[in-house]
């Protein structure tokens, strides 16, 4: 049982640290938050607020005490129960209600809702519906603060349940290693939904876990705003001095159920709830204000009336606002990319390998833009296991080229957090299979941040690494995973098949204001040198390349399959079949215009990819051809892909697994001879 008497065992705050005016300000803020939450729940029960929301009634002292210790330049990240934090940092009540009501004038345009409120002008970087995510994002924001030298510090609020997530440990380790100015603030409200915290926490408690990382930590009374203020002020001063993170565990209690939507019974006793209500943070602060003798009860009554009136006025204002339209919501998914009028430069006579071209793009973009940083495992002096980052550490130093622990979750989330704060991180995925350990950061954070935060955020980040089979690394190091991301709105997917395209597309990816998944094939690293211009250049995403003109069949292929398609076409030349090969170069955006123009000329099409057929991008292209060029087709669209199995280790079986020139030629012939 979560006995409220635990608060009586914690150190008493030094109330003389703050003036009477400060104490009154803390009380007023707590009243505002309490009244907001009470009315939000009532509106939810009436159906005015829909979906779900999570009340912070009972936890107001944490929000106001912590934010009272912050400066305007300081940032915070919060979680699904974050109304109090955002209000305490200065958020407008009316726009808060508007967002919960799904209105166009809400903080996120009615798109994000209760769990995703942000205000970048106030350095509120967003609430988050993924448990613990703010810690990884906060690490990135803190890295940006350190690199930018602006002196800001941040708080990542999280609940007791999040302390068991891997991101908690990964982020604390990274912040301790790099002395990042981030405060880890755990609101221990005794329950993760219905599970008692004490039943799922091993060891000496949440705060004590900081000892393993050399992070100062403390347990405080989370129902006393002065105690919270003192602990956060100390942590802020420490972080601002360059001494790194602090872990604070505040003992508190949520009065309501897990969410306004929940109606769960039987997991908390009446005695337990009554004990915590007796330690109401607002009642305690009210008594403290009266003890100062600077105001009397009538002043506090008038203050409560003023707060209540302000909340009602905000509700009235928000209720009359229009709702967003689908057309405007669609514009929030990605930052629009202007059309480039610059032609692609001629290849010239100087030659580079595929990986040398990628490396040159890194050098040129990092020299051009100081906000470009590179992070990954073994990307530093060693230059990466495939040599794509050679020389970068020497050229740009350890601040901008950072080796990270083997902790893909915080690596990716740290990159997203830094991107939200104006940097352009390149995140190397040592082998692309490890991207599965980054899925939250890529799919839930990077891809959705701009949209769910109302079109305000920019997330200029590149997730890159080698994928594909062909060098005998077995099933967990050789997958082709592009379609895991193709169905995620907000992401761009680049897949260069030549050194020329690799350099130009990498420059475009780094300069993009949207998150990019950049695929590099291991076999292409082993290819010969081919002509690549020395000067920096971009290739516009969504611009396909006609690799080889032809008249009888269009073949669409990417990455290592492009060369194999060329080999197949050369074989078929001898049989009088002329094959046109198109390399889309980017899977999202996809240049269907070039593909359709070719199909309308050849009247036949075959799509080739290395991944298994089922769910592969070939099905999407085939469907688009059938929908938009059906009248020109003389045969069904053919598809070539791997069998429905993981990649085998045995070298002969691996060769059999991967589509080759013979497989492609067979599919082209079958399509050409079928009518």
Predicted confidence (pLDDT) per residue in 270-280, tens digit: 999 999 999 99
Give residue 2's pLDDT. 81
Residue 233 CA: distances (Å) to CA of 183, 206, 226, 283? 10, 20, 10, 23
397 Rama class: left (phi>0) / alpha (psi -120 to 50) / beta: left
Give residue 675's pLDDT. 62
Measured over the CA atoms of residue 211, residue 213, residue 218 and residue 219, the dihedral's sign is negative
Cα–Cα distance for residue pair 371/316, rounded to 1 Å: 44
C-alpha of 326 from chain center? 23
87 and 293 Cβ atoms separated by less than 8 Å? no
- Tokens standing for residue 231: 């602990």
φ, ψ for residue 493, nearest 5 deg:
-130, 115
HSE at residue 471, side-chain half, CA atoms within 13 A, is 15
27 and 304 Cβ atoms separated by less than 8 Å? no
Beta bridge partners of 548: 581
Burial class (CB in 10 A: 0-12, 13-18, 19+), 20: middle
- Tokens standing for residue 51: 């979906």
Give residue 449's pLDDT. 97
Instruction: Print burial letters for 294-321: b (CB count within 10 Å at least 16), e (below 16).
Output: ebeeeebeebbeebeebbeebbebbeeb
**Catalytic annotation on 477?**
yes
φ, ψ for residue 2, nearest 5 deg:
-85, 85
- Can you tell me which residue has the tokens 């109090």? 84
Instruction: Print burial letters for 549-576: b (CB count within 10 Å at least 16), e (below 16).
Output: ebebbbbbbbbbbbbbbbebbebbeeee
562 and 581 Cβ atoms separated by less than 8 Å? yes
Cα–Cα distance for residue pair 312/289, rounded to 1 Å: 25
- Tokens standing for residue 500: 């020329």
Q: Where are the beta strands (DSSP E) in 201-284?
A: 217-221, 246-251
450 and 457 Cβ atoms separated by less than 8 Å? yes
Residue ranges of the domains in the chain? 4-9+18-320, 351-531, 546-672
- Model-level pTM? 0.96
Residue 137 CA: distances (Å) to CA of 63, 412, 434, 657? 19, 9, 19, 39
Cα–Cα distance for residue pair 295/311, rounded to 1 Å: 23
Cα–Cα distance for residue pair 135/165, rounded to 1 Å: 10
Q: Which of 23, 54, 477, 521 is catalytic?
A: 477
- Can you tell me which residue has the tokens 């020389």? 391
CATH fold match for the domains 4-9+18-320 and 351-531: yes
- Tokens standing for residue 456: 């305000």
Q: Which of 60, 249, 360, 408 is catalytic?
A: 408
CA nearest 354: which of 570, 518, 567? 518
Cα–Cα distance for residue pair 534/539, rounded to 1 Å: 14
Cα–Cα distance for residue pair 659/613, rounded to 1 Å: 11
In 46-89, which residue ranges form alpha helices assigned H by DSSP?
Answer: 60-68, 83-88
DSSP three-state, residue 325:
coil
**Catalytic annotation on 60?**
no
Give residue 265's pLDDT. 76
Measured over the CA atoms of residue 661, residue 665, residue 668 and residue 670, the dihedral's sign is negative
CA nearest 67: which of 225, 243, 293, 192? 225
CATH number of 546-672: 3.40.50.920
CA nearest 14: which of 322, 177, 231? 231
H or E stretch at 428: strand 424-428
Q: Which CATH number fits domain 4-9+18-320: 3.60.20.40, 3.40.720.10, 3.30.710.10, 3.40.50.970?
A: 3.40.50.970
Sites in the chain below the pLDDT cut of 70: 1, 340-341, 675
φ, ψ for residue 527, nearest 5 deg:
-75, 170
Three-state SS letters, 137-149? HHHHHHHHHHHHC
Task: Please give the CATH topology (third level) of the domain spanning 351-531.
Answer: Rossmann fold (3.40.50)
587 and 486 Cβ atoms separated by less than 8 Å? yes
474 Rama class: left (phi>0) / alpha (psi -120 to 50) / beta: left
Per residue in 452-493, pLDDT tens?
999 999 999 999 999 999 999 999 999 999 999 999 999 999
- Tokens standing for residue 505: 């597309």
How many secondary structure helices (H) and strands (E) does the chain include?
24, 21
Give the CA diameter of the chain: 100
Quote the Cα angle for 121-123-126, to 5°.
105
- Percentages (nearest 5) of helix, strand, coil residues in the chain: 45, 15, 40
């Amino acid at each position: 049982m979560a006995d409220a008497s635990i608060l009586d065992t914690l150190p008493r705050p030094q109330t003389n640290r703050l003036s009477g005016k400060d104490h009154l300000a803390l009380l007023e803020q707590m009243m505002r938050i309490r009244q907001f939450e009470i009315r939000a729940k009532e509106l939810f029960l009436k159906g005015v607020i829909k979906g779900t929301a999570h009340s912070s009634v009972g936890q107001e002292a944490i929000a106001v005490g912590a934010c009272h210790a912050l400066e305007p330049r300081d940032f915070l990240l919060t979680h699904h129960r974050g109304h109090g934090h955002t209000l305490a940092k200065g958020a407008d009540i009316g726009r808060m209600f508007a967002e919960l009501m799904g209105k166009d004038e809400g903080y996120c345009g009615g798109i994000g809702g209760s769990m995703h409120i942000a205000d970048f002008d106030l350095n509120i970087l967003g609430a988050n519906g993924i448990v613990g995510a703010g810690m990884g994002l906060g690490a990135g924001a803190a890295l940006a603060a350190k690199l930018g030298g602006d002196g800001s510090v941040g708080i990542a609020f999280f609940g007791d349940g999040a302390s068991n997530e891997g991101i908690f440990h990964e982020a604390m380790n990274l912040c301790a290693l790099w002395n990042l100015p981030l405060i880890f603030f755990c609101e221990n409200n005794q329950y993760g939904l219905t599970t008692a915290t004490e039943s799922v926490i091993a060891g000496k408690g949440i705060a004590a876990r900081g000892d393993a990382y050399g992070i100062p930590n403390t347990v405080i009374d989370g129902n006393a705003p002065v105690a919270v203020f003192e602990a956060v002020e100390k942590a802020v001063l420490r972080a601002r001095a360059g001494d790194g993170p602090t872990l604070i565990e505040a003992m508190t209690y949520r009065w309501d159920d897990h969410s306004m939507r929940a109606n769960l019974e039987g997991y908390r006793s009446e005695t337990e709830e009554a004990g915590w209500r007796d330690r109401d943070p607002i009642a305690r602060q009210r008594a403290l204000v009266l003890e100062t003798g600077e105001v009397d009860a009538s002043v506090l009554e008038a203050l409560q009336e003023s707060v209540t009136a302000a909340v009602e006025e905000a509700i009235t204002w928000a209720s009359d606002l229009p709702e967003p339209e689908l057309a405007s919501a669609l514009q929030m998914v990605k930052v629009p990319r202007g059309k480039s009028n610059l032609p692609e430069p001629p290849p010239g006579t100087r030659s580079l390998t595929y990986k040398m071209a990628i490396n040159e793009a890194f050098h040129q973009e990092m020299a051009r833009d100081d906000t470009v940083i590179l992070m990954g495992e073994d990307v530093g002096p060693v230059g990466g296991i495939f040599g794509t980052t050679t020389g970068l550490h020497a050229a740009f130093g350890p601040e901008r080229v950072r080796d990270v622990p083997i902790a893909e979750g915080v690596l990716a989330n740290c990159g997203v957090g830094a991107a939200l704060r104006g940097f352009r991180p390149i995140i190397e995925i040592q082998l692309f299979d490890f991207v599965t350990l980054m899925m939250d950061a890529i799919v839930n954070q990077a891809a959705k941040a701009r949209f769910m935060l109302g079109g305000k955020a920019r997330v200029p980040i590149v997730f890159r690494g080698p994928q594909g089979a062909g060098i005998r690394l077995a099933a967990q190091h050789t997958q082709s995973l592009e379609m895991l991301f193709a169905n995620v709105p907000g992401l761009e997917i680049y897949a260069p098949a030549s050194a020329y395209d690799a350099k130009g597309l990498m420059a475009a990816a780094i300069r993009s204001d949207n998150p990019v998944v950049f695929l590099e094939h291991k076999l292409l690293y082993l290819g010969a040198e081919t002509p690549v211009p020395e000067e920096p250049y971009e290739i516009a995403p969504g611009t396909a390349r006609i690799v080889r003109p032809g008249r009888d069949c269009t073949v669409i292929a990417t990455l290592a399959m492009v060369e194999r398609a060329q080999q197949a076409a050369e074989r078929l030349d001898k049989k009088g079949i002329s094959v046109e090969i198109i390399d889309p170069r980017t899977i999202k955006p996809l240049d269907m215009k070039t593909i359709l123009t070719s199909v309308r000329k050849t009247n036949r099409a075959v799509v080739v990819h290395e991944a298994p057929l089922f769910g592969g991008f070939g099905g999407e292209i085939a469907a688009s051809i059938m929908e938009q060029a059906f009248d020109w087709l003389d045969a069904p669209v053919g598809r070539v892909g791997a069998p429905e199995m993981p990649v085998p280790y045995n070298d002969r079986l691996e060769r059999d697994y991967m589509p080759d020139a013979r497989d492609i030629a067979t599919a082209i012939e079958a399509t050409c001879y079928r009518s």
